[in-house]
Amino acid sequence: MTTDAMASPVSKSRKGLMSRALSGTVLPVIVVVLGIIAIWYVAAISMNSTFQRSLDARAEATPSTVEFVVSTLNQERPVLPSPHQVAENLWDTVFNKKITSKRSLVYHAGVTLAPTLLGFLMGTGLGILLATIIVHVLSMEKSLMPWIITSQTIPILAIAPMVILVLDAVGIRGLLPKALISMYLSFFPVTVGMVKGLRSPDKMHLDLLRTYNSSTWQTFWKLRWPSSLPYLFTSMKVAIAISLIGAIVGELPTGAVAGLGARLLSGSYYGQTVLIWSALLMAAFCAAMLVALVGLAENWMRRRMGEKAEAGS
Amino acid sequence: MSETTVAPKTPTLPEEWREPLIWLAILCTLIALFVPLAFLAGDDGVAKPLRTPAGLCVILIAGAVASVRFKGWFGDILLFLSAHVTAGILLFMLPAYTGAAGWGFWLLLAGSWLLAWQVVTRLSDRRLNGYKQTLLDLAIPILFGLWLLLLWEMIVVGAGVPYVLLPPPSQIGARIAESLPLLWADFQQTFLLGVLPGYIIGCGAGFIVAVLVDKVPFLQRGLLPVGNMASALPIIGVAPIMVMWFGFGPSSKIAVVVIMIFFPMLVNTVAGFAAAGNMEKDLMRTYAASYGQTLSKLRLPNAMPFIFNALKINSTLALIGAIVAEFFGSPTVGMGFRISTEFGRLNTDLVWATIAVAALAGSTFYGLIALVERRITFWHPSARG
């Protein structure tokens, strides 16, 4: 804060490269990420050392400290795989396998992403619809809103596997059940955000439209909808992230057939920790990409609506 | 132009027609008179249609018409009574019509539901003063919830949905009453041993790290984007890893809960600390307030709405984390264990009973935090309504 305030009269060009890097977010983020990786390595060494020691004792080997550390980081089934092992596995399963092959992580990510996106679209649609109804019908707001909030305190994610199996018994299988879980999770932030957004226009503006004798419909399209868009995109970022989580958990009961969730499950069945971590990182990458996509759409929308694109975030 | 301008007249409906739900309900009831209520197997095993009792239709229509005639509380009470007496009689007759309900049954149900909805609409438009409004605001969602349960019961039993797929609420309720000790043991294992310690540790750790990070703006700028991203990650995926590391007991559940809720707490607290305005901070500086004083007197109270936001989000996340972690391995007790094993044995009513307990626990937890929030952040615009 204070450095910004003091540096502001100085022109940008006179600021050193170092101080510019310090005031931005890129360098701090890099430092934090490097710190996390360092902690990860230390944790990997300490958590794997017990097993390594017993291995060495059995082999009657007396490795030097360096050798010992290197071997803890390269076990076949480590308690905590080291970052480079995970990176290697990621590289191997992403780039060295055919996309259609069952060993390709891209294939599994695709299997998970399809229901994520479908569920996200359905959830966003449902959220907008509910919010529109709630804003316009008083009795709906009073009776439905408390239940919408309560619906989220129910750990639905915990029963997602069961919902999938029940739907399977009814004959609904494939993409739709997982998408339904994603929808259930993602409609909530959109509903809450949109109720706020559709109510966000000024009283003055609403009154102005009333003096124009505009219909409810016109007020909706010309005032409420445009002013709710920033709220919509903010809640869509939350919604797409949890809809990915919903799809992953939805894959757990299908008996580890395909998808990132299935990879997690099969990894945990067979003790393939490297597999679990690479699936986790892939999921993290997907989540980041999806949120970034919504962010891009938001920037595009802002520019189209004549607002200056927000820097960063 | 001596004429005074007259506002364009919008065509208005006559008073009685402004409540279309009532007329729709009457229409449903009239049709119900001419279609069978249910198909009951006779002595010869052939299903015979059963006429819809005219008395039921009369109750519904009389209530509807009377409510149009009498405005005010009297009309509302009549409407309420006619809708719920009909629904009550239908519920009473329900066991006899398991899987045999006909169009008359559904139309009567729709009719009484429409009338009940009209009651809700009317109640929503009322303005009372003081505690009466609070009671009314509480009664409306409760009525809505009860109707959801009622419709669930009627549709599942009336249409004969197999109980394995979806048991009716009455059966779930009976199951809860019958297996209370079991459910209590599960609750203890998952909630008291897993969720609560994890919640306290996770929120505490997030808060402490936020306070530490707050002193170093460099770290703060770096941690915020990373933390924001981490909150969006499917962290629940670490559940199998934690079960591998910490075993089947409660400690693995605590670990999952801590990891899941750490980042939301961290991000919200850091954002909350940044929420204090520069003016106020400058004021504290002119008072020569120390770092600790500024923190406790200005920035912490200012951060409270953010912190409570995280506490509320985390209350749900913690429960989810503990239950999902149990899917990957647990002792033979616990809510997640109960859900997965009893579902495997097709005891769906016990599964639903566990879900009901989980929902109750989750809502109560959330509600308690919301109550504390009201007491502490009473000054915030969102609490003042």
What DSSP assignment string belongs to B15-43?
GGGG-HHHHHHHHHHHHHHTS-SEEEE-T
Of B234, B355, B365, the CB nearest to A287: B234
Q: Are residues A119 and A174 in the same domain?
A: yes
Test B244 with A271 for CB contact under 8 angstroms: yes
Of A150, A165, A245, the CB nearest to B234: A245
> What is the model's pTM?
0.78
pLDDT number for residue B254: 93
Of B316, B336, B340, the CB nearest to A153: B316
- Report the residue of chain B nearest A285, measured CA to CA: B233
pLDDT number for residue A310: 47
CA separation for the pair A110, A105 (Å, rounded): 8
Element spanning B112, H or E:
helix B103-125
- In the structure encoding, which two tokens stand for residue B188, read together? 């203890």
Which residues from B are below 8 Å from A29, CB to CB?
221-222, 225-226
Of A47, A154, A264, the CB nearest to B240: A264
Inform me whether the pLDDT recorded for A311 exceeds 50: no
Domain edges within chain B = 16-161, 175-384
Inform me whether the pLDDT recorded for A100 exceeds 80: no
How far away is chain B from the Cα of A145, in angstroms, using its nearest Cα? 8
pLDDT number for residue A309: 45
The reply to whether A282 touches chain B by the CB within 8 Å rule is: no
DSSP reduced 3-state for A48:
helix
Which of B175 and B226 is assigned the larger pLDDT?
B175
Note the pLDDT tens digit of each residue in B209-222: 998 888 887 887 78
Which residues from B are below 8 Å from A244, CB to CB?
234
A/B interface, count of CB pairs below 8 Å: 165
Test B358 with A154 for CB contact under 8 angstroms: yes
Q: Are residues A121 and A72 in the same domain?
A: no
Inform me whether the pLDDT recorded for A293 exceeds 60: yes
- A43 belongs to a structural domain: yes
CA separation for the pair B111, B30 (Å, rounded): 10
CA separation for the pair A267, B25 (Å, rounded): 56
Least confident of A148-152, B75-79, B262-266, B316-320: A148-152
State the pLDDT confidence band at B18, using cuts at 50, 70 and 90: low
Test B366 with A161 for CB contact under 8 angstroms: no
**The tokens 């291995």 sit on which residue?**
A55
Which of B31 and B19 is assigned the larger pLDDT?
B31
- A14 belongs to a structural domain: yes
| Percentage of residues of chain A with pLDDT beyond 70 | 87
- A97 belongs to a structural domain: no
Which residues from B are below 8 Å from A166, CB to CB?
165-166
- Report the residue of chain A nearest B218, measured CA to CA: A28
Element spanning B50, H or E:
strand B47-50
The reply to whether A190 touches chain B by the CB within 8 Å rule is: no
Test B141 with A244 for CB contact under 8 angstroms: no
- CB burial string A59-87: b at 16+ within 10 A, e below: eeeeeeeeebbebbbebeebbbbbbebbe
Q: Which domain holds residue A34?
A: 2-80
Note the pLDDT tens digit of each residue in B123-181: 888 888 888 888 888 888 888 889 999 999 988 888 888 887 788 999 999 999 999 99
Which residues from B are below 8 Å from A199, CB to CB?
none
Least confident of A53-62, A273-282, A296-305: A53-62
**A residues 217-276 lying closer than 8 A (beta carbon) to B:** 237-238, 241, 244-245, 248-249, 252, 260-261, 264-265, 267-268, 271, 273, 276
pLDDT number for residue B383: 59
**What is the residue-averaged pLDDT of chain A?**
80
- Report the residue of chain A nearest B143, measured CA to CA: A143
pLDDT number for residue B166: 83
pLDDT number for residue B13: 55
pLDDT number for residue B12: 56
Test B219 with A150 for CB contact under 8 angstroms: no
Inform me whether the pLDDT recorded for A308 exceeds 50: yes
Which residues from B are below 8 Å from A288, CB to CB?
229, 232-233
DSSP reduced 3-state for B105:
helix
Note the pLDDT tens digit of each residue in A74-97: 777 787 888 888 888 888 888 877
DSSP reduced 3-state for B52:
coil
Domain at B175-384, CATH from 3.20.19.10, 1.10.10.10, 3.40.640.10, 1.10.3720.10: 1.10.3720.10
- A86 belongs to a structural domain: no
pLDDT number for residue B202: 95
Test A141 with B226 for CB contact under 8 angstroms: no
Test A165 with B343 for CB contact under 8 angstroms: yes
The reply to whether A29 touches chain B by the CB within 8 Å rule is: yes
CA separation for the pair A284, B228 (Å, rounded): 12
Of A32, A153, A264, the CB nearest to B226: A32
Which among A231, A146, A148 has a CA at the least distance from the CA of A184? A148
State the pLDDT confidence band at A312, using cuts at 50, 70 and 90: very low
Of A152, A158, A248, the CB nearest to B234: A248
The reply to whether A195 touches chain B by the CB within 8 Å rule is: no
State the pLDDT confidence band at B17, using cuts at 50, 70 and 90: low
State the pLDDT confidence band at A19, using cuts at 50, 70 and 90: low
Which residues from A are below 8 Å from B219, CB to CB?
28, 32
The reply to whether A150 touches chain B by the CB within 8 Å rule is: yes
CA separation for the pair A260, A104 (Å, rounded): 11
CA separation for the pair B122, A127 (Å, rounded): 25
Note the pLDDT tens digit of each residue in B94-123: 887 777 777 888 888 888 888 888 888 888
Which among B21, B42, B228, B41 has a CA at the least distance from the CA of B117? B21
Q: Are residues A176 and A230 in the same domain?
A: yes
pLDDT number for residue A64: 79
- CB burial string B348-384: b at 16+ within 10 A, e below: bbbbbbbbbbbbebbbebbeeeeeebeeebeeeeeee
Least confident of A164-173, A231-240, B40-49, B173-182: B40-49
**CA-based max dimension of chain B:** 95
Burial class (CB in 10 A: 0-12, 13-18, 19+), A137: middle
CA separation for the pair B261, B202 (Å, rounded): 6
CA separation for the pair B115, B107 (Å, rounded): 12
For CA atoms B14, B15, B21, B23, give the dihedral sign.
Answer: negative
Contact B108, B32 (CB under 8 A): yes
**What is the residue-averaged pLDDT of chain B?**
83
Q: Are residues A72 and A220 in the same domain?
A: no
Which residues from A are below 8 Å from B355, CB to CB?
154, 158-159
Which residues from B are below 8 Å from A164, CB to CB?
none
Note the pLDDT tens digit of each residue in A189-238: 899 889 888 988 888 888 999 899 988 888 999 889 988 888 898 889 88
Least confident of A25-39, A103-117, A259-273: A259-273
Q: Are residues A50 and A124 in the same domain?
A: no
How far away is chain A from the Cα of B46, in angstroms, using its nearest Cα? 28
The reply to whether A165 touches chain B by the CB within 8 Å rule is: yes
Element spanning A80, H or E:
none
Give the total number of structural domains in chain A: 2
Alpha helices in chain A (DSSP H): 2-7, 17-23, 26-59, 65-72, 83-95, 105-136, 138-153, 156-170, 175-198, 203-211, 216-219, 225-251, 260-269, 273-304
Inform me whether the pLDDT recorded for A28 exceeds 70: yes
- A199 belongs to a structural domain: yes
The reply to whether A128 touches chain B by the CB within 8 Å rule is: no
| Percentage of residues of chain B with pLDDT beyond 90 | 15
Work out the average pLDDT over A4-31: 59
Q: Are residues A43 and A125 in the same domain?
A: no
Last residue of a domain, one of A80, A113, A144: A80
How far away is chain A from the Cα of B252, in angstroms, using its nearest Cα? 14
Test B125 with A138 for CB contact under 8 angstroms: yes
Work out the average pLDDT over B301-321: 87
| Percentage of residues of chain B with pLDDT beyond 70 | 92
Which of A156 and A109 is assigned the larger pLDDT?
A109
Note the pLDDT tens digit of each residue in B280-300: 888 988 999 888 888 888 888
DSSP line for B194-229: IIHHHHHHHHHHHHHHHHHHHH-HHHHHHHHHHHHH
- In the structure encoding, which two tokens stand for residue B375, read together? 């007491």
Test A287 with B232 for CB contact under 8 angstroms: yes
- A299 belongs to a structural domain: yes
Test A159 with B339 for CB contact under 8 angstroms: yes
- A283 belongs to a structural domain: yes
- Report the residue of chain B nearest A243, measured CA to CA: B234
CA separation for the pair A177, A250 (Å, rounded): 8
Least confident of A37-41, B39-43, B198-202: B39-43
Inform me whether the pLDDT recorded for A147 exceeds 70: yes
How many other C-beta atoms lie within 10 A of the C-beta of residue B20? 11
pLDDT number for residue B122: 83
pLDDT number for residue A267: 79
- A58 belongs to a structural domain: yes
Test B328 with A268 for CB contact under 8 angstroms: yes
